[in-house]
Chain A
Amino acid sequence: MNKYYVVTFQNTHEAMKAEREAIKNQIKVVVIPTPTYITKSCGISLKIQEENIQSIIELIKADSIKVKEVFVRDGESVKVVSV
């Protein structure tokens, strides 16, 4: 089963800004509606493949993007990743 990451945001503006930053840094992200298993979050999230998550975490640490939470989806399991 494909393992991937879902990054959620405080609001839509942060989500849009994060997508722009990712594109600027040539990191492949996919805009998705926030999955229903993640509640109470802005409606837009980013889906990130495993090979790109490290680059995204670097952007978060550098304060270039502000995220709410990072989840890892592996098969049926969903876990919060601490950044």
Chain B
Amino acid sequence: MNNIIDCKGLQCPMPVVKTKKYFDSVESGESTIIVDNLVAKNNVVKLAEGSGYKSIVEEKEDLYFIKITKEKCEVVNTEIKDEKKFTLLVSTDKLGFGDDKLGDMLMKSYIFALSEADLIPNDLLFINGGVKLTIEDSPVLDSLKKLISRGTNILVCGTCLDFFDIKDKLSIGEITNMYTIVELMNNADNTIKL
């Protein structure tokens, strides 16, 4: 039976939390999640994709109807992965303490070297002052583009963009919330914090 999770008027991360709660509680099932903003829609779809559920989105009168199906028989992933997953948390736009101008320079140098490294992060998370590296005119955009083309997932803290009032200047990566940040860090084999 199809049921509805009505998230109209709810801001992120509540729609994701409600959706996750429902699907965690059932072995299999189908539900339509109704949200009224694009960020919530994207995050709910991402949750479905990340969990291996099917999702179909319909847009009607400024509302998004996301139909998610969780199948009973989930494919058991027997593939053994050799490569380690690591997450990089960038919490500042300056690398290290001592001198801010030097820190600016070191961060540019670091991100460049990272983009050329053999091992690159699966997830690159930007929080607090770090989000300034992801907006237009950021001196490290080219290096970040290179990381994306090599497979890194770039996620930027929406609360932080909002705080610095630069949400409309975001030039790379996707907006995320603290639940996703916690989950990615907890699931990583290794997390490096700058």
A and B held together in a complex: yes
**B102 contacts which of A12, A30, A32, A33 (Cβ < 8 Å)?**
A12
Q: Within 8 Å CB of B102, what residues of A?
A: 12, 16
**A44 CB–B CB distance under 8 Å:** yes
Q: Number of residues in A with C-beta < 8 Å to the partner?
A: 11
Cβ–Cβ contact B142 & A32, under 8 A: no
The interface residues of chain B lying within 8 Å CB-to-CB of A47 are 112
Are A33 and B113 in contact (CB-based, < 8 A)?
A: yes
**Residues from 2 to 46 in A contacting B, C-beta threshold 8 Å:** 12, 15-16, 19, 30-33, 43-44
Are B113 and A31 in contact (CB-based, < 8 A)?
Answer: no
Judge if B21 is at the interface, Cβ distance under 8 Å. no
Confirm or deny: B105 has a beta carbon within 8 angstroms of a beta carbon on chain A: yes
Give the distance in Å from the alpha carbon of A67 to the alpha carbon of B108 in the complex: 19
Asked if B60 lies at the interface with its beta carbon under 8 angstroms from chain A, I say no
State the CA gap A19–B139 with chains docked (Å): 11
Contact residues of A with B, CB < 8 Å? 12, 15-16, 19, 30-33, 43-44, 47
- Interfacial residues, chain B to chain A (CB-CB below 8 A): 101-102, 105, 108-110, 112-113, 139, 142-143
CB<8 Å pairs between A and B, sample of 22: A12-B102, A12-B105, A16-B102, A16-B105, A30-B108, A30-B112, A30-B142, A30-B143, A31-B105, A31-B108, A31-B109, A31-B139, A32-B109, A32-B112, A32-B113, A33-B109, A33-B110, A33-B112, A33-B113, A44-B105, A44-B109, A47-B112
